[in-house]
Amino acid sequence: MAAASAMYVLSSVKNTSGIQKAVALPVILALSLCSHFALDAVPHFELQMLSNVLIGSLIILFLLYIAWRDKDVFVLVSAFLGALPDVMWVLKISHEFDEMHSFLHSTVTHAPPYSIILELLALASIVFIIYKAPRKT
């Protein structure tokens, strides 16, 4: 969610209008969805559901604040799209989608324990970037 929102926040989409925005917004939203698969392809430490929900809840609260602060709902839309593949997987929406999701997921099953520290540092960096990114003009 944070990476997908960061892509949107750092893009120039929010500062465009007219036909330029009509073209750029769907592209950045599609990239927000694709960011999930790109990050899944990187070997990473798999957390249990409770940990994911706790961290995800904190990220959602943070992104709600950013969307309110910047008066920009697309911060949340991009976050939703970034999380959508896992939501579909948890809800078992489609067997075919689950197979594709698994195929694109890293096959490393036991990332080293220190990798969680690297992932949390990356998450903290992304949160900082979103917080400090220039606001919509």
- Other CB atoms within a 10 A radius of the CB of residue 77 amount to 18
**Residue 39 and residue 16: Cα distance in Å, rounded?**
28
Predicted local distance difference test score (pLDDT) of residue 137:
59
Under 8 Å between Cβ of 1 and 60: yes
Q: Which has the closest alpha carbon to 80: 67, 94, 96, 98? A: 67
What integer pLDDT is reported at residue 114 of this predicted model? 83
**134 φ, ψ (degrees, to nearest 5):** -55, 140
Spell out the per-residue pLDDT of the chain, length 137, in tens: 999 999 999 998 988 889 999 999 999 999 999 999 999 998 887 778 898 899 999 999 999 999 999 999 999 999 999 999 999 998 999 999 999 998 888 888 677 878 888 889 999 999 999 999 988 65
DSSP state of 71: T
Q: How many residues does the chain have?
A: 137
Q: What is the pLDDT of residue 61?
A: 97
pTM summary value? 0.87
State the Cα–Cα distance between residues 55 and 63, nearest whole angstrom: 12
Find, among 118, 135, 137, the residue nearest to 65 by Cα. Answer: 135
Give pLDDT, residue 46: 78
DSSP conformational letter for 14: G
